[in-house]
Amino acid sequence: MSALATQALTLSLGGRRVLDEVTLALAPGRVTALLGPNGAGKSSLLACLAALRRPDSGAAMLGGEDVAALPARERARRIGFLPQQADVHWDVDVRALVTLGRLPWRGRGGAGAADRAAVERALEATATTALAGRPVEQLSGGERARALLARVLAGEPEWLLADEPLASLDPAHQLDVGARLRAVAAAGAGVVLVVHDLNLAARLADAVVLLRAGRVVAAGDTAAVLTPAAIAATYGVAVEVGVTAGGERYIVPMGRA
């Protein structure tokens, strides 16, 4: 698996500096969380990593090559992107939805045996096999989120980039989807998530990048980076960090820093 990195990535949108000389190295086989307040540039950074936005200067690199310069099909095979908007414009069934994830791999003739097998694996991994024949509009929010995750997984990419994949889920589903994402990383792929919830980040992420106003405040292993000082510097909020009986870290915001 190749490394995903950025080199002095700079991006302005509407006259505003959204990313300012961001240099990062992300390791495969781990879950990395991008954290920061609103407008910090998290989603923009994710978009640049997936070549969905062109930076003004600097570059995002996959295995040393500029992602934007890769042929679209190859890039689509290697980088899977799960956007924040869970748009599904047509009332297709779940299996058809997940099969869309095989588009970068499919030949002219449509889905082949390899594609169908990958779709089955993705359905299993997200526990949506039972839903395969149902139209998407009949699914609940959590089921839909799992189906959309299955779509990304079906492409079996090297890197899975997800923008707030847990945002509108209830706790049970958050745990489920979170577990899937960790499993994907454990299998060797790289996972980068934009999350808002500090606790989720603490639980899911092996590494964390703290962003503020387009700049990297801190980046590295979760335990090392997610400290009250760093959080205060990023969010302007004082927090208390604790550990549950089971060894899980939790973070509680106390007040403005």
Partner 1 sequence: MSRATLWLLLALLLAAAGSLAAGKVWVPLDAWTSADPRSIIIVELRLPRTILALTVGAALGVAGAAMQGYLRNPLADPGLFGVSSGAALGAVCALFFGYAAQAWLLPLFALAGAAATMALLALIAGRSASLVVFTLAGMVLTSLTGSLTALAISLAPTPFVASEIVTWLMGALTDRSWDDVWLALPLVALGIAVLARTAPALDALTLGETAARSLGVEPRRLQRAIVLGVALTVGATVASAGVIGFVGLMVPHLVRPLARHRPGATLWPSALAGALLVTVADTLVRLVPSASELRLGIAMSLLGAPFFLYLLLRLRRRLA
CA dist., res. 62 & res. 34, Å (int): 18
* In the complex, least distance from residue 119 CB atom to partner 1, rounded to whole angstroms: 14
Nearer to partner 1, 76 or 225 (CB): 76
d(CA 209, CA 24): 9
HEC assignment per residue over 85-125: CCCCCCCCEHHHHHHHHHCCCCECCECCHHHHHHHHHHHHH
Q: Min. distance of Cβ 20 from partner 1 in angstroms?
A: 23
Distances (CA, A) of 193 to 37, 83, 131, 181, 254: 15, 11, 26, 9, 25
Cβ proximity to partner 1: between 58 and 157 the closer is 157
Nearer to partner 1, 81 or 235 (CB): 81
Question: Least distance from C-beta 155 to partner 1, angstroms?
Answer: 8
Of 87 and 171, CB closest to partner 1: 87
Shortest distance in whole angstroms from residue 233 CB to partner 1: 31
Closer CB to partner 1, residue 99 or residue 222? Answer: 99
CA distance 79 to 63: 12
Residue position matching structure tokens 């290697």: 78
For the bound state, the minimum distance from the C-beta of residue 95 to partner 1, rounded and expressed in Å, comes to 10
What the block records as the tokens of 108 is: 């002219």
Binding site for partner 1 (CB under 8 A): 50, 52, 72-73, 75-77, 79-83, 85, 87-93, 96-97, 100-101, 103-104, 106, 135, 148, 151, 155
Return the structure tokens found at 114: 């390899």
